[in-house]
Chain A
Amino acid sequence: MNKKAPSRIELMQGTLDLLILRTLLAGPSHGHAIAKHIQRASEDLLQVETGSLYPAVHRLEAKGWIGDSWDLSDKGKRARFYRLTALGRKQLVAEHSKWQAFSRAMGLILDPVEEGQ
């Protein structure tokens, strides 16, 4: 995956946590699948470094926002699946609305003309 991606965006500090939580809302998933989902869903604009992904996942688990279990993957191999906990769901809602407020605020300032819509 070393193709040139000139329009790739650096993940902002703290946003990876939110993306992981949001990805897990759809159902349990293993690390590799989480990374791929974020990449695909963002139309390759966001690429998750493995070096950041696993520390982040383990950090979320340490906070109790996600849980883990070992299960068989769709290819029949043993893999570690992460899922959202109730605490994580609450966190996601809170982070999500915070993010929405933030991006709306950014939008209001950066594009004042389109305010009327």
Chain B
Amino acid sequence: MKSFFRKLAWLTQRQAKEVELEEELQFHLQEEAGEREAQGLAGDAALQAAQRELGNLTLLKEDTRATWTWIFVEQFIQDIRYGLRAMAGNKAFTAMAILSLALGIGANTAIFSFMDSILLRSLPVPDPKSLVILSWHTPHRGMHGTNRHDNSYNDPNGGFVGGFFAYPAFELFRKNDSVFSTVFGYQGAGELNLSIRGHAELAETEYVSGDYFPGLGIPPAAGRLIGPDDDRAGAPATAVVSYALSQKRFGGPANAQGQSILINNHPFTVIGVAPPEFFGADPDSSPDVYVPLHANLLLSAQDYMASTYLDPYYDWVVPMARLRPGVTAKQAQAALAGPFYAWARTADPTRRAEDTPTLVVREGADGLDGLRRTYSKPLYVLLALVGLILAIACANIANLLLARAAARKREIALRLSLGAGRFRIIRQLLTESVLLAVLGGALGIAFAVWGIRFLTLLLANGSENFTLRAELNWHVLAVVAALSLFTGVLFGLTPALQSTHGDFVPALKELRTGVAGGRGLRRLGLSRILMVSQIGVTLLILVASGLFLRTLANLASIQLGFSREHVLTFQINARQAGYNDPEIVTFYDGLRTQLGAIPGVRGVSLSNHSLIGTGTSGTGVIVSGSGSERYDSSILTIGADFFSTMQVPILSGRAIDARDRSGSPMVAVVSEAFAKRSFGDRSPLGEHLGMGQECAQCIEIVGVAANTLYGNLKKPSPPTIYLPFAQGAWGPVQGMYYELRTVGDPLNYVNSVRDLVQRADQRLPLSNVKTQGAWIDQTINQEIAFARLTTAFALLALAIACIGLYGSMSYNVARRTSEIGIRMALGAQRHRVVWMVLREVILLAAAGLAIGVPAALTASKLVRSFLFGMQPNDPLALTGAAVTLLTAAILSGYLPARNASLIDPMISLRHE
């Protein structure tokens, strides 16, 4: 302790001690010299002998100083100060190095954090490892029933995977308790009308079986959660609300418990609140309200009936189970496959034996994987791109450090000869590298936080209930930072070790002659290799950006067949608020008239989907004159004025109008594509069509509309039938989308529309309020996000590569100052000098392109599925990228070249 304070005291008296040491050593020298003189040596010779005996004075001082204080800490501070000074002395270099590193680290961390939250995170429940997901596998695609979860897909290994089961199958799993400790099921109800204290809104609702909460093992935040007794036909109507909803609507979980609410106009009692971190078993959704499975009889009568619970051919329950301890998913599958197959055979005897579904049991720790299937590939592509950027950034740092080490060879040699310890110099160079990496890393964290916010915005792109929650992932950050640190240390240390090794006299003698030794040449070679690979990698990113930009441009220039400008859409569902037939039609029509009276609204109509963005309907249709053949057709039910509002031309006949009511003759307008397919060159007017047995050909075609896209932006306009919604030929009227053609910005009308609907019926919440343009953008949001992101990446990569090129060329020119001076003294023209430097840049760029173009051609095939209207080897994207890169390279090489040509031969030669 004492020594601690003494050292502390000494630290403050450094200067004095320094002087004392000097005097003490001088005294020693004189004593020694005096002694030598006494032995008979001459004065000068005696002093020299004494000095020789003393040895390396600087080293001796350094060793002595080491005993004074915490020399390590002191030297460390000294190194950092020196490092900062060196950085400040070369601001452009430092800023670029730190910036490129920070951008690399930030982008990688942001993307990785997203991947982690989508691809790797487990459900926030106890013991997620024992959860399994049950699904079936069939050789051909085929589904019967209702499913709102994205868990059915084409198996990449052939066949089709479905993730929802008939209730009897679910009961079969439940009975089989030898492998499972619990089996529970759920199904989405979609957005239902939730009314709390007279205020209505739409709430994402989930049907859950009685074992859902006990099986997942999550505790309530308040009250109790739904249990087996709640999930019975005839049980009191109970609901559990999410933590967020309890805060938003009740002022906290404790207040929510016991409250009465209306769901689709049916009274329910809130019995409890789910914990804050729980978002259901499907990461792609986050329910606001949970109700028992059997509540679907009350709330979704259009999809479920009491008989649904006995129907073996109507699939709808998404099952999950918890394995008993020691049982694996494979064993569970083996145990249940037999009973399930036997059940499936009896469930549908008409099915061919080879089409019978087989049971698949998979690990379910992460919940459903629809979200992962949707986003994993785009994220891998982005990850590859940011990985490449990090590689460019690291190459930059490496190049920079190499160049600097070469430039400091003399300095280091000088310091060694003055008595600096080798370890000490290495440590100092290391400190500088680490300092650079640390500053880059710190800034990288800021970029990562910002990048995550940016990415969330970009990926959600207007979607209201985007459930992806990415947080800054510190593990990821640590890995990326470690990587950059490693680069810094590796490329900072290697030259440091080399230049402190062995004989430093040649390095001291080597003036700025520009004649590099063997080792210098090799290092120059390494730096060239780094630059060429940087250019090659940058080309890859530029090509990617070009491909995605062209894809977006192709999508934007698609002919829609209707006008997307100045259209506001919103959805209401009067049935959920308690309206029944026939007053629901009257209500919808009345609202249409009222909306049309808003000043500035030029046209109003309604349809069961908006043309693009909200989904499609369709079925097989029989037409007159074609026997019983069914034509796959898209169907849209519409109100009056639909075609004029959406500006779709009627080619012949008439449009759907107010005459087409319930009770009047059933009519339809068909699209040109439909007419052509079903009737060829004949006029379809007066022909009939039908969809079901009770209406084989009861609908008369009264008009033909021009083709429009419907549902999918990337597919040609489908053969479409437009039916009047009021006639109910397409089943009972449910929710409808209104379309308002406005003067000026459609969003200016949102408040008037809200007021109007509120006045019409305050139980009716508006949803999906957005412009038709926004719907379209939302369907291509991945393409938009990709185009924006990759453009940002491309600019970033280009900037980093140019900085690297500029830095290295400037350094080369500085090294060759005297050589260039001699050339000019011997009569070289200025433009020859410029050309000499530029030629090197062009050679490097050409080499980079020679590697990059084949690589880009290969790599772009990987993103084929992301492209629209073009091939991966799109010549325009490729040429564009190459020309951009070449131009940027020449520009960044021109400045150093110009500097070289401005060298004054006299000055540079005197410099020797």
Contacts and interface: CB of A to CB of B under 8 A. Distances in A.
Interface of A: 1-2, 30-33, 36, 49-51, 54-55, 58-59, 62-64, 70, 73, 75, 77-80
B28 A55 contact: no
B231 to A, nearest CB: 79
B3 interface: yes
Given A2-B52, A51-B54, 8 more contacts: A32-B31, A50-B54, A51-B55, A51-B56, A54-B21, A55-B64, A59-B67, A80-B27
Nearest to A31: B28
7 closest residue pairs by CB, A with B: A32-B31, A59-B67, A58-B67, A55-B63, A80-B24, A54-B64, A32-B28
Contact of B64 (A30, A58, A64, A73): A58
Nearest to A61: B67
Contact of B32 (A32, A55, A59, A78): A32
Interface string B8-28: 001000000000110111011
A2 B10 CA distance: 36
A58 B68 contact: yes
A2 B489 CA distance: 44
A49 B60 CA distance: 10
A55 B56 CA distance: 13
Nearest to B2: A64
B60 A51 contact: yes
A64 B28 CA distance: 23
26 contacts: A2-B53, A30-B27, A31-B27, A31-B28, A32-B31, A32-B32, A50-B28, A51-B55, A51-B59, A51-B63, A54-B25, A54-B63, A54-B64, A55-B63, A62-B7, A62-B10, A62-B67, A64-B2, A70-B20, A73-B27, A75-B34, A77-B27, A78-B23, A78-B27, A80-B24, A80-B27
Contacts of B760: none
Nearest to B35: A36
A64 B67 CA distance: 12
B30 A54 contact: no
B6 interface: yes
A31 B60 CA distance: 14
A77 B60 contact: no
Which of A2, A49, A51, A78 is packed against the most chain B CB atoms within 10 Å?
A51
A31 B24 contact: yes
Interface in B38-66: 49, 52-56, 59-60, 63-64, 66
Interface residues of B, number: 30
B67 A55 contact: yes
Given A62-B68, A63-B3, A64-B6, A49 B63 contact: no
Contacts of B66: 55
A101 B416 CA distance: 44
Nearest to B7: A62
Given A31-B24, A50-B60, A64-B3, A1 B68 contact: no
Given A62-B3, A64-B6, A32 B60 contact: no
Contacts of B6: 62, 64
Nearest to B69: A62
A49 B27 contact: no
A49 B34 contact: no
* Residue of B20, B30, B34, B67 ringed by the most chain A CB atoms within 10 A: B67
Nearest to A80: B24
Contacts of A59: 67
Contacts of B59: 51
A72 to B, nearest CB: 11
A50 B49 CA distance: 13
Contacts of A77: 27, 30
Contacts of B27: 30-32, 73, 77-80
The CB with the most chain A CB atoms within 10 A, among B10, B20, B28, B60, is that of: B28
Contacts of B31: 30, 32-33, 73
A78 B68 CA distance: 22
A109 B509 CA distance: 56
Contacts of B25: 54
A77 B24 CA distance: 11
B52 to A, nearest CB: 8
A64 B7 CA distance: 11
Contacts of A62: 3, 6-7, 10, 67-68
A33 B27 CA distance: 11
A32 B34 CA distance: 11
Contacts of A70: 20
B63 to A, nearest CB: 4
A49 B55 contact: yes
B68 to A, nearest CB: 7
A25 to B, nearest CB: 21
A5 B2 CA distance: 42
Nearest to B55: A51
Nearest to B61: A54
Contacts of A73: 27, 31
A50 B53 contact: yes
A70 to B, nearest CB: 8
Nearest to B66: A55
A1 B53 contact: yes
Nearest to B20: A80
B60 A54 contact: yes
A77 B23 CA distance: 11
A61 B64 CA distance: 11
A18 B2 CA distance: 22
B39 to A, nearest CB: 9
A59 B64 CA distance: 8
Contacts of A1: 49, 53
Nearest to A87: B2
Contacts of A78: 23, 27
Contacts of B53: 1-2, 50
B579 to A, nearest CB: 92
A75 B31 CA distance: 9
Contacts of A50: 28, 53-55, 60
Contacts of A2: 49, 52-53
A31 B31 CA distance: 10
A52 to B, nearest CB: 8
B458 to A, nearest CB: 61
Contacts of A63: 3
Interface in B712-747: none
Contacts of B49: 1-2
B527 to A, nearest CB: 40
Contacts of B10: 62
A78 B24 CA distance: 9
Contacts of A80: 20, 23-24, 27
Contacts of A54: 21, 24-25, 28, 60, 63-64
Contacts of A51: 54-56, 59-60, 63
Interface string B250-282: 000000000000000000000000000000000
A26 to B, nearest CB: 18
A58 B6 CA distance: 13
A62 B68 CA distance: 6
A81 to B, nearest CB: 10
A24 to B, nearest CB: 16
A63 to B, nearest CB: 7
A73 B35 CA distance: 14
Nearest to B31: A32
Nearest to B25: A54
A37 to B, nearest CB: 13
B70 to A, nearest CB: 11
Nearest to A59: B67
